[in-house]
Amino acid sequence: MPSMNETNGSAPIGIGLLGLGVVGSAVAASVLSNDGQKRGLKLCGALVRDASRQRAVELPSGSVTTDPDIILDSPDIDIVVELMGGEEPALEYISRALAGGKHVVTANKEVISKHGERLRALATEHNVSLQYEASVGGGIPIINPLLDDLSANELLSLRAIINGTTNYILTEMASGGASFDDALADAQGLGFAEADPTADVDAFDAVYKISILARLAFGVSVPVESIYREGIRKTASQDFRYAGELGYTIKLLAIARRENGGLLVRVHPALVPVDVPMAKVEGVLNVVEAEGDLVGPLWLQGRGAGAEPTASAVMGDVLRTASVIGGTGNVRQARPIDSELPLLEMDEHQCKFYVRLTVRDRPGVLAQIAGALGEMEISIASVLQMDTDAELKNADLVIMTHPAREANMQRAVERIDALGDVDNVANLIRVESYPTDR
Ligand code: HSE
């Protein structure tokens, strides 16, 4: 397709970058490339924290600045590309850019998950566009397909692996028997995990991302605080061993699904049958599995992080926005919050559970545990006794239940934990249901 500049010879489209880290540098390189110039893009400035730092990309002299006003107030800049991350000052800069009549492209999942609805309204008020394809799933096209190609569908569910760092850690634990700490250290050594891994391993990152997807897919506001969140710190190497014996692996899943007349949004580790495709999404790969009433099941898999995949999504947004400025295209904005679908509490969720306990290995212990489960109307499907220590007279018990209500399971766990012969309930993992496993 000929570029807008080739077709109408209009003035270049000014790009201002906020942030010049690994993704920002890859985006700058793309804008400065021959292809970027042929498409009429011009890099007018880049906001950095430290102007003296060496970067992977050489920028035109004088275009690097530590003063946000140079970017936000420049009449030459049409599109502000925010790649700083974090809530502030990114939120302030995005808001100022939109209010100043500039289009915005951002990869900022925290800002969009917490303030997306307000920013959408601000963009509409000022007749500019706000695009954030790179905020979820790195290079995977998911935001625009939800807004555009899938917009005739009623979405039934989204089920995703949308954090590459934790998927890398869990894959290492599954394949090599690594402990959580060793797999995390390995991920940090390779640059996948941050020095402070909280956002990834405690699942805040995945919560931001599923909040964005759920808002767009279901037309409801899904505040991040409303989402059930559980990270992977409790997942131990023996959980993979025991789950493997039962035909499962463990993945951190982010799920938004219509059920019981409402929408339940949750992020937690889950047992996934080893023979379903999701079990085979390994390392830093991400996947989003959607189900629409018209399209049926849909599978989008790709690289969920990294400079180039993220730059692919950012540049897609930049070029879409450029075509609007050139008068040859349009962008889809998120639809306003228009659904009455209530958000459901996790307490009402029903699933099978995997329970790992360390107990005294002596007569009557299993009966006490079965009694506590029975009192809460939870039915046992199978019990495995593992890793018996004859000297300490301890054993690991793994109990698989039939489908049970979350609130009942939590109460049962409290009662079991209080039993004298139970050292602890070491882990409780929900079993995700797939058509092959029903
Ligand atoms: N930290 C994220 C991940 C990548 O591990 O998937 C950026 O969204």
**Average pLDDT per consecutive 10 residues, the chain (438 residues; last block may be shorter):** 46 96 96 95 96 88 95 98 97 98 98 97 95 97 96 96 97 95 95 92 98 96 97 97 97 96 97 97 97 97 94 97 87 78 96 97 95 98 91 93 98 97 97 76
Give the pLDDT of residue 9: 57
From the CB of 110, is ligand 1 less than 6 Å away? no
pLDDT for the residue numbered 336? 76
* SS3 per residue for 215-233: HHHHCCCCCHHHCEECCCC
Q: Specify the pLDDT at position 326.
A: 85
* pTM (2 d.p.): 0.95
Dist. CA 345 → ligand 1 center (Å): 27
- How does 355-364 read in b/e, with b if 16+ C-beta sit within 10 Å? bbbbbebeee
Say what the pLDDT of residue 61 is. Answer: 87
Q: Do the Cβ atoms of 317 and 133 come closer than 8 Å? A: yes
Q: Which of 11, 24, 19, 297 is nearest to 153 (CA)?
A: 297
Q: What is the pLDDT of residue 254?
A: 98
Q: Sheet harboring 13-18: ordered strands across?
A: 64-65, 41-47, 13-18, 79-82, 103-106, 130-131
Both structure tokens of 10: 């209009």
Residue 87 has a pLDDT of 97
304 lines ligand 1 (CB under 6 A): yes
Instruction: Confirm or reject: Cβ of 164 under 6 Å from ligand 1.
Output: yes
**Residue given tokens 């400035």 in the structure block:** 45
The ligand 1 atom at the shortest distance from the C-alpha of residue 107 is: 8
